[in-house]
Amino acid sequence: MPSQSENTNTNEKQWNETEIRDLILYAKHLQQENEDLQAKMIMMNAKLNNEESKVRQLNNIIKQIYAKGNNPYNSN
């Protein structure tokens, strides 16, 4: 009966040069996709921060309007 290490050795795949090259190219492709997605996330985060800033500014304007007693919904 073959030992466990002999079984492992017979089941191991031998990679040829083309397969190794293709695997490296695929890994580089995935790395580029990862970098692209990270750049998109940074851009989207910047846009989100910009929109949140606009909301804060509008909220401050609304608070100022109500603080001055210029409530458009108050018919006094």
pLDDT of residue 21: 97
d(CA 26, CA 37): 16
Tokens representing residue 4 in the block: 């466990």
Exposed/middle/buried for 71, CB within 10 Å: 0-12, 13-18, 19+? exposed
Q: 26-36 pLDDT, tens per residue?
A: 999 999 999 99
Stated pTM of the model? 0.60
